[in-house]
Amino acid sequence: MQIHGKSAIVTGGAGGLGEATVRRLVADGAKVVIADLAKEKGLELAEELGGSAVFFETDVLSEDSVLGAIAAAKELGELRVAVCAHGGPVAAQRVLGRDGSPMPQALFDRTVALYLSGTFNVLRLTAAAMAKNEPADSGVRGLVVNTASIAAYEGQVGQSDYSAAKGGVVGLTIVAARDLAAVGIRVATIAPGTFFTPAFQMPEEQAQELWGSAVPFPKRMGRADEYGDLVSFIVGNYYINGEVIRIDGAQRFGLR
């Protein structure tokens, strides 16, 4: 899909996988809305990228907030791509704790709301905006790329909330693609393995030592720019639709 001169929205665009995606889409010629709650980081990134990106403070769970990001994107150009790369803290907790107490329902609900409901909120609203575009080659009007995780398939101990949310994103993919086929909007999902991002809050060398060895090959953690490269590839390949793509170095999570 021709993205040069068009606009895109990246939720979670101020850091980690989102930042790498913003940079790659800008390199591909797009104008990008950095949709995030991290205002300071988002404004710094927008300033660095000049007129190719703007920051819009965005809560993915708020309809008005997402609609505001969409309006900001339309000021930059025709909205053709949305990437859901937002995230947040997840407290690892078993269904039953060591003392036999159950995981708080509020904790489960919070994680599912952020990772699944927030993704759907962005999907539905950006799709509604893209459906008004003039069709490009093959009748394509737009693309939404969501982010799952290999934890959707092999969740580890203490990941019931996170795995359930990401599993929901996986399940949403083919249904949304079929729902939106009539208006020419593609939907794809990326399921990353262990990627190094600032969320680890430690030097990369330390993180690589702890987790990189568990990856079969390349024997290291993923790099955020590799995620951004995959987004760019999906943008350019019209026939990728309704698919979940693992990017994990052949890693399969174990019990822990």
Task: Please state whether beta strands 243-247 and 185-192 pair in parallel, antiparallel, or not at all (unpaired).
Answer: parallel
How many domains does the chain fold into?
1
Integer Cα distance of 11 and 13 in angstroms: 5
Integer Cα distance of 169 and 175 in angstroms: 10
Work out the average pLDDT over 8-20.
96
Which of the two residues, 237 and 211, has the higher pLDDT score?
237
Whether 213 is in a domain gets the answer no
In this prediction, residue 88 has a pLDDT band, given cuts at 50, 70 and 90, of: confident
Return the beta strands (E) in the chain as ranges: 7-11, 31-36, 53-57, 79-84, 142-147, 185-192, 243-247
Q: Taking 90 as the threshold, does the pLDDT of residue 254 lie above it? A: no
Whether 179 is in a domain gets the answer yes
Whether 178 is in a domain gets the answer yes
CA distances from 237 to 70, 162, 172, 188, 233 (A): 24, 30, 20, 11, 6
What whole-number percentage of the chain has pLDDT above 70? Answer: 100
Q: Which long-range contacts (CB under 8 A, 24 or more apart) does 203-211 make?
A: none
Looking at residue 48, what is its pLDDT?
Answer: 97
In this prediction, residue 43 has a pLDDT band, given cuts at 50, 70 and 90, of: very high
Whether 149 is in a domain gets the answer yes
Integer Cα distance of 14 and 89 in angstroms: 15
Active site residue 162: yes
Whether 182 is in a domain gets the answer yes
Q: Taking 80 as the threshold, does the pLDDT of residue 1 lie above it? A: no
Q: What is the pTM of this model?
A: 0.95
Q: Quick one: CA torsion of 154, 156, 160, 164, rounded to 10 degrees?
A: -20
Which pLDDT tens digit goes with each residue over 145-175?
A: 999 999 999 999 999 999 999 999 999 999 9
**What does the chain come to in residues?**
256
Which of the two residues, 212 and 256, has the higher pLDDT score?
212
Strand partners, 56: 35
Whether 256 is in a domain gets the answer no
Integer Cα distance of 170 and 182 in angstroms: 21
Which pLDDT tens digit goes with each residue over 168-224?
A: 999 999 999 999 999 999 999 999 999 998 888 788 888 898 889 899 999 999 999
Looking at residue 77, what is its pLDDT?
Answer: 96
Which residues span the domain enclosing 178? 7-196+224-246
Produce one character per residue of 59-98: b if its CB has 16 or more CB atoms within 10 Å, e if not: bbeeeebbebbbebbeebbbbbbbbbbbbeebeebeeeee
Work out the average pLDDT over 50-55.
96
What whole-number percentage of the chain has pLDDT above 90? Answer: 87
Measured distance between the N- and C-terminal CA atoms of the chain, rounded to whole angstroms: 40
Looking at residue 193, what is its pLDDT?
Answer: 95
Whether 22 is in a domain gets the answer yes
Catalytic residue among 153, 162, 227, 238: 162
Q: State the chain's mean pLDDT as an integer.
A: 95
Whether 215 is in a domain gets the answer no
Looking at residue 92, what is its pLDDT?
Answer: 85
Q: What is the CATH number of the domain that holds 94?
A: 3.40.50.720
Looking at residue 225, what is its pLDDT?
Answer: 96
Q: Taking 90 as the threshold, does the pLDDT of residue 253 lie above it? A: no
